[in-house]
Structure 1
């Protein structure tokens, strides 16, 4: 294939992935399509973490062993985007662009194979399932996906950034996260006799308000963190004070050192507030992903490749970093040096529309035009030649 064929086929593959989304730890057909493509291009691969795939080119080359990663899973969202290749499975959608991530890495794989003699060291391609809360990266590492790898690079499309821009900072680029789950237990009763009950609804409302002091009053202003109550469930009747309330929420933090204090404060505040209302709070705090923190040298190398492709001003943006979304790419960066980039994709369409819907929206649309740019950046990182393109 020539370069144009690689780009065209990558876009076509992306559309196939988009039509056939599969949820976390269900990526059977997605894995099969990836493996069929690698086999057709005579790229050796092995299965990893059930639906994951690890492929390596120039395995015996003596230089640095670098890896690239793409995530695979879709989301439980019903698509509402006006695209010709809409999801064929109601309630499932590639609403985060993982279809585009896979397509770009497959395109890079095809070109790397044709330029394999140029590779100075081994290049590993990691197709990873279960990024959306499933800790797929952790499982891939446990099954040897990083064996022998010296450095790793990944990316995420970002609709809030214009196409032609990309951010790859030193240090944190995405935040760590966690969740909290609590049951507020009281004593149910008649709504007309609140004094005979112990109202868990009132206590849950107070806990929700009091949790806001964690960020505003209990952490230093320099700590970038978020505590959000996202669920309050009090199944009851309009004349009944319920026995219990379920309250849940999300934690985001840009620096791992704030995790323990935040977790402890959630427990302390919920427990003490509940006691003040004559009820109890059973609290569970669960850690999910750590912050995605770039290695300085790897980030500088990534930025150089991005700027060579997109132009020297491509990093100019008013987007505040780290963003508060999370990524399990952090598992890889805790094992080997590497870097993660946010690649912009918002631009005007010929019909006047603009890509604005964020990731995880039913109206989200991936921008196919950025696939070629990402393949080119990967080529620069791997040290292979790609035809000159327009900046």
Structure 2
């Protein structure tokens, strides 16, 4: 391992933990963007703002011997109160990097430093996308609208995945992550005294019935072969012990493999909710909020990621056991709808406190992934990488 490589990795871990301590939610990543841009400027890498808090950077812009490749890292945090207990725990009350976007950003910055050091040896142009608002904010869409993919031929991205053993990669030829959507169901009845329910039209009782009915969509109204999830995640009906309230609100989420399944699931949510509410004598309004489409890889690019990853981990580096598609969602699908590319999930559970799932208040990104993914990115763009050695050469990273 070269001293420059070692220094790059150590700096990346430091930056990652600094970002983790100072999280910012979607479309508010001003300090994060400033830090990214300062680091790029210090490395003499050209960049421009994009989508407000996003940043597009370039290397070897005049290269013509290979395709123009883009690499993406997301930068936003979540509205979750951190309970990890780490020394670099969030200093922003109510916000934390609970999905590892701090690690994705630090990895892309490490890649930027390594590629800049070898810029004259890059065969083609490289674009680096530091994207805001992945967590439901459609940041990728805004980046594309503001020409982030201009001239780019292929794009690659990744996500750490605590449900996979450390170093195991999932990058199928087609569907990798589902699309999603959310819904709000408002049930309005007639409130009154709990001792006289016959004079009321109870929205709480209707809400309970709607919840039970919606759970039968997947079991009885859609084919079991379809990768669909319908989850009611919240019931809001504030009242008092002796008061039947006027209104109840249900919140929920769906996960779907394609737009056809989404349309059918949404249709059933509307029909079942309204018909069930009617049977309880309450009014029902259903608001459907489509979010992300499914993330579907391009076969050639996905195969390239798998092959290059096996240069690092061997044939055992691919996970063939996790059920696909992953039911979580990603706005990386916007990029893949525009140009060829691939999105990978890479396992982070090394048996050392990195098994907490994404979006858990106890979650923390596994810094040991940074060197491996940086090496993958370097290979993808044709840059040299340090010679690999047997065993875990990054065991010192904790």
Cα deviation digits, residues 58-112 of structure 1 (max 9, x gap) = 1111131110000001111121113221212221111111010001101111111
Q: Establish whether residue 144 from structure 1 lines up as the match of residue 126 from structure 2.
A: no
TM-score by length of 2: 0.95
Match of 1:378 in 2: 377
Find 1:224's aligned residue among 217, 223, 227: 227
Most deviating of 196-205 and 43-52: 196-205
Q: Establish whether residue 18 from structure 1 lines up as the match of residue 20 from structure 2.
A: yes
Match of 2:396 in 1: none
Match of 1:309 in 2: 312
Q: Establish whether residue 387 from structure 1 lines up as the match of residue 380 from structure 2.
A: no
How far apart in 2 are the matches of 1:161 and 1:385? 28
Match of 1:38 in 2: 40
Q: Which runs of 5+ in 2 are unaligned?
A: 391-398
Q: Establish whether residue 93 from structure 1 lines up as the match of residue 96 from structure 2.
A: yes
Match of 1:61 in 2: 63
Aligned length: 387
| Contact 2:163/2:357, CA 8 A, preserved across alignment | yes
Cα deviation digits, residues 30-84 of structure 1 (max 9, x gap) = 0011101111111100000110000011111113111000000111112111322
The 5-angstrom pairing of residues 117-156 of structure 1 reads 117-156=120-159
Deviation at 1:114, TM superposition (A): 1.2
How far apart in 1 are the matches of 2:6 and 2:363? 27
How far apart in 1 are the matches of 2:98 and 2:278? 42
* Matched position secondary structure for 1:2: helix
Q: Establish whether residue 212 from structure 1 lines up as the match of residue 215 from structure 2.
A: yes
Deviation at 1:135, TM superposition (A): 0.8
Q: Establish whether residue 265 from structure 1 lines up as the match of residue 268 from structure 2.
A: yes
Match of 2:393 in 1: none
How far apart in 2 are the matches of 1:124 and 1:304? 22
Deviation at 1:164, TM superposition (A): 1.9
Deviation at 1:240, TM superposition (A): 1.5
Structure 1 stretches of 4+ with a deviation exceeding 4 A read none
Deviation at 1:116, TM superposition (A): 1.1
Most deviating of 250-259 and 29-38: 250-259
Cα deviation digits, residues 185-228 of structure 1 (max 9, x gap) = 11112212211111111111111000112101111111001000
How far apart in 1 are the matches of 2:72 and 2:282? 48
| Contact 2:348/2:355, CA 8 A, preserved across alignment | no
How far apart in 1 are the matches of 2:341 and 2:383? 19
How far apart in 2 are the matches of 1:375 and 1:204? 49
Q: Establish whether residue 326 from structure 1 lines up as the match of residue 329 from structure 2.
A: yes
Deviation at 1:256, TM superposition (A): 2.5
- Please give the root-mean-square deviation of Cα atoms over the aligned residues, in Å: 1.1
* Matched position secondary structure for 1:313: helix
Find 2:303's aligned residue among 300, 303, 325: 300
| Contact 2:48/2:57, CA 8 A, preserved across alignment | yes
Find 2:184's aligned residue among 157, 181, 186: 181
* Matched position secondary structure for 2:87: coil
Deviation at 1:342, TM superposition (A): 0.5
* Matched position secondary structure for 1:90: coil
Deviation at 1:284, TM superposition (A): 0.6
How far apart in 2 are the matches of 1:215 and 1:59? 49
